[in-house]
Amino acid sequence: MTHFKQVALSHASRLINHGPTVLVTSAHGTARNIMAAAWSMPVEFTPPRIAIVIDKKTYTRELIAASGGFGVCIPCTTLAGLTHAVGSESGRTVDKFLHYGLKARIGPVLGMPLLEEGCAAWLECRLISEPHTEDAYDTCFAEVVAAAADERVFQNGHWRFTEDNVDLQTIHHLGGGNFVRPAGMFHAGDAAAKKP
């Protein structure tokens, strides 16, 4: 007897998307915005490059196209409510930074707004122009030009999720406003090998 049931294709991506939910910040001139994105991933090590899905019709995408850059902030569990809120409304009519009282620092390379309070890390990214895909796909490719992380949760190039830093752990969107955080971190050498 199998416990497997068919999954609707509209939910198939959730089976592999356990990466952290991120906040995408953008700015051009005096305009700025912040939105949530659940689909982001690294694509190259050197130079560091990422891919992130941002709907072509969003205000954020317009600002990114105009400025050529954006920020990626990785919120902690304490910002789950804010993350859901900024991901559920448009910034075309309201400055979400002012509306939610967000204090952003200015990125060191591109001048993008970046959040540190309530976040585990941030990346400042330069958009990689992909003319043959920009009209067809929502995926943006970018090179990371600066990055920083809270050393209480990221040390020596590795995440460190423990019981003493639960509030600093990343959040992962499961759909419908539901999130989960990492828990029970263990090393592969410590786990007993089990046959399926």
For the CA atoms of 10, 16, 19, 24, what is the dihedral angle to 10 degrees?
A: -30
Helix (H, G, I), strand (E, B), or coil: what is residue 22? Answer: strand
- Asked if the model's pLDDT at residue 32 lies above 60, the reply is yes
Position 88, amino acid:
S
For the residues 52-75, what does the mean pLDDT come to? 94
Specify the pLDDT at position 60.
Answer: 96
Helix-, strand-, coil-residue percentages of the chain, each rounded to 5: 20, 35, 40
**Lowest-pLDDT range of 17-21, 68-72, 137-141, 144-148:** 17-21
**100 vs 184: which has the higher pLDDT:** 100
Q: What is the Cβ-side half-sphere exposure of residue 31, based on CA atoms within 13 angstroms? A: 14
Specify the pLDDT at position 137.
Answer: 79
For the residues 135-157, what does the mean pLDDT come to? 89
Give percent of the chain with pLDDT exceeding 70: 86
d(CA 169, CA 74): 9
**Lowest-pLDDT range of 17-31, 51-65, 69-83, 132-146:** 132-146
Specify the pLDDT at position 10.
Answer: 74
d(CA 5, CA 155): 40
- Dig out the tokens for 185 from the structure: 């971190």
**38 vs 13: which has the higher pLDDT:** 38
What is the residue-averaged pLDDT of the chain?
Answer: 87
- Owner of token pair 């809120």: 85
d(CA 99, CA 33): 11
d(CA 70, CA 109): 11
Summarised one tens digit per residue, pLDDT across range 157-175 is 888 888 889 999 999 888 8
Helix (H, G, I), strand (E, B), or coil: what is residue 93? Answer: coil
| All residues at 6 or more sequence positions from 112 whose CB lies less than 8 Å from its CB, including other chains | 25, 26, 27, 67, 69, 70, 71, 106, 124, 125
The CB-based long-range contact list for 100-108 (8 Å cut-off, 24+ gap) reads 102/34, 104/25, 104/32, 107/69, 107/71, 107/146, 108/146
- Dig out the tokens for 19 from the structure: 């990466």
Question: Which CATH fold topology does 20-190 show?
Answer: Pnp Oxidase; Chain A (2.30.110)
Summarised one tens digit per residue, pLDDT across range 121-135 is 999 999 998 776 666
